[in-house]
Amino acid sequence: MPDAGAAHSIGMSMLPRTILSLLLLASCTAGPASTSTTSPPTMPASAATTTAPPKTNDATTMDLFCGVLSENTITSGQGSGPNTFELRPATSVRTGTIGSARFGGWASPDRPALGTYVCVWLRQGAPMGGFRSRVRSGEPAYIAEILPNGLILPQGCAYVGIPTTDRDGVSVIWKVDCGATANRDARGTLGPAFTQQGWTSCGSGLASEIWRQDTSRLTVSEGSGSPGEYPTLTQRLCYIGGGAPTGAGCS
């Protein structure tokens, strides 16, 4: 995972919203301790299941990651080097959805262009993993889309476009469309699905609500409701694989 990024400037008009979001997030972490922090979150039922990794002597440390092949944001020092890349965002059955995964060792000609969605077997390590092989669409283990950990959208709702990440590669952000009327009350529209699927609400305010389950935090943001603007789901994890510090994304 990338190291902490440069600090973002925040306008004075955004301070109340930021402070309230932090208070809501703090109320989550004060809840009962998770009973599954020793294992990664599970993927939704719609995600593909993986087959065994390539038969190598490091098979026990292998994991399959899928995501958009991107430039490495670390350009010097530890975690940098030739043929180093990131998947932003990324997902795997073992780790779930994360903001990014850094790895090295994928040389041409097998490597596609940056911006290509790929699935690759990586030997896990820190500060980066190591490329082992690629899995193509239609082959066993291929994961077709990146989904939030532990949430399936209710009927009538769908994701719009592809997910993105924040600058530090910690949060993953999805646009959601439930219809023009329902979008104006995204918290009310999605609330029953969260409850039925075992999520706990941390409270709401300023057109947003934070939900938690195990190691995941999902924030529903309704936005302004302007034409062409969709509500968003933003995921942050307490457990992040790939060598990131334990607790990253929860403070």
Which tens digits make up the pLDDT trace of 203-239?
Answer: 887 889 999 998 899 999 997 777 789 999 999 987 6
Alpha helix stretches (DSSP H) within 184-247 = 186-196
How far apart are alpha carbons 63 and 171 in whole angstroms? 21
CATH number for the region 59-135 comes to: 2.40.50
Quick count: other Cβ atoms within 10 Å of Cβ 234? 19
Q: What is the mean predicted confidence (pLDDT) over 1-5?
A: 37
Which tens digits make up the pLDDT trace of 90-110?
Answer: 999 888 999 999 999 998 888
What's the pLDDT at 33?
39
Which tens digits make up the pLDDT trace of 147-183?
Answer: 999 999 999 999 999 999 998 889 999 999 999 999 9
Q: What is the mean predicted confidence (pLDDT) over 6-11?
A: 31
What's the pLDDT at 51?
47
How far apart are alpha carbons 104 and 238 in whole angstroms? 25
Q: Where are the domains of the chain?
A: 59-135, 147-251
Q: Give, for 164, the enclosing helix (H) or strand (E).
A: strand 158-165
Q: In the predicted model, is pLDDT for residue 240 greater than 80? A: no
What's the pLDDT at 7?
31
Query: What is the model's pTM?
Result: 0.73
CA 74 to mean position of chain CA atoms: 19
**pLDDT band for position 247 (cuts 50, 70, 90):** low
Average pLDDT, the chain: 78
Antiparallel, parallel or unpaired: β 96-98 and 158-165 = unpaired
Give the residue among 170, 41, 38, 37 at the shortest CA–CA distance from 94: 41
Q: What is the largest CA-CA distance in the chain?
A: 55
Which tens digits make up the pLDDT trace of 23-39?
Answer: 344 445 544 433 333 33
